[in-house]
Amino acid sequence: MPFATCTANFVVYVLKCPCGKLYVGKTISSVNTRTNEHKNNIRNFKADTYNDTPVSRHFATAKHNKVLEVVTKSPTGGDRNTMLLQREARWIRRLDCVYPKGMNEQLNLACFL
């Protein structure tokens, strides 16, 4: 598994809570920015608001980061965001992170069409 700095962007990352559940996500922002967004949502969690995300909901109920892959610009071109969505989907499937085994709500394969 590659390592990335907190300033890396276009990455697929995994959050693992102490209970062992995983959440796979992707970000075009820096890892640091996205991590702070998750922390903010956890800290300010309130059901049925914009802070009610799969991660914040889990942490709020269970009381409990790591980059999986850096998606670089392809030398042959192509949409980097689509590539990021595809890599995220592959990691969600590989790590079996869809609820109830993990915290991802769904495995979206539309990015492969």
Amino acid 64: pLDDT: 61
Amino acid 1: pLDDT: 65
Specify the fold of 11-112: GIY-YIG endonuclease (3.40.1440)
78-90 pLDDT per residue, tens? 899 999 999 999 9
30-58 pLDDT per residue, tens? 988 998 898 888 888 888 998 899 988 88
Q: Helix, strand, coil: what percent of the chain each, to 5?
A: 35, 15, 45
Q: What is the pTM of this model?
A: 0.64
As given in the structure block, the two tokens for residue 3 are: 């390592």
Q: Where are the domains of the chain?
A: 11-112
| 112 pLDDT more than 70 | yes
